[in-house]
């Protein structure tokens, strides 16, 4: 039986492959995605519109999980370092994420990170 932690690792692999459709295939049609401090996206179309421009700009994506935990209810918490290569810049972003599930699919995903620190790396 596959755990939700394994499903999150599979989701991360889709990000590292920069495969928007594979990312969305791991989410419910009405899923919500929130980078805390930015606007929430709800549903595949809104999530696609949010992540596609970012993934198209990145030539490489690597997410390293520092810690991962799964609650008795199946919520997965991750502490990660997300790395994005964008042109001549390599952005390294410490992130804390929470993934909620309905069945085998992610229904809600929230990431908490240092937005000003990320924006400074983008400058």
Question: Given a cut of 80, is residue 1 above it in pLDDT?
Answer: no
The number of helix segments (H) and strand segments (E) in the chain equals: 4, 6
Can you tell me the distance from the alpha carbon of 51 to that of 29, in angstroms, rounded to the nearest whole number?
15
Model confidence at 121: pLDDT above 90: no
The pTM of the full predicted model, rounded to 2 decimals, is: 0.93
Q: Percent of the chain having pLDDT more than 90?
A: 87
Domain count of the chain? 1
Domain residues for 31?
4-122
CATH number of domain containing 68? 3.10.450.50
């Amino acid at each position: 039986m596959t755990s939700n932690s394994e499903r999150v690792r599979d989701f991360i692999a889709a990000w590292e492959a920069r495969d928007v459709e594979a990312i969305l295939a791991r989410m419910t049609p009405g899923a919500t995605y929130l980078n805390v401090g930015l606007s929430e996206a709800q549903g595949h179309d809104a999530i696609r519109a949010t992540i596609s421009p970012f993934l198209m700009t990145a030539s490489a994506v690597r997410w390293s999980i520092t810690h991962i935990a799964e609650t008795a209810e199946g919520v997965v918490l991750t502490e990660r370092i997300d790395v994005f290569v964008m042109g001549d810049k390599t952005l390294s972003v410490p992130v804390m994420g929470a993934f909620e599930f309905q069945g085998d699919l992610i229904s809600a995903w929230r990431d908490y990170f240092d937005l000003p620190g990320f924006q400074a790396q983008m400058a």
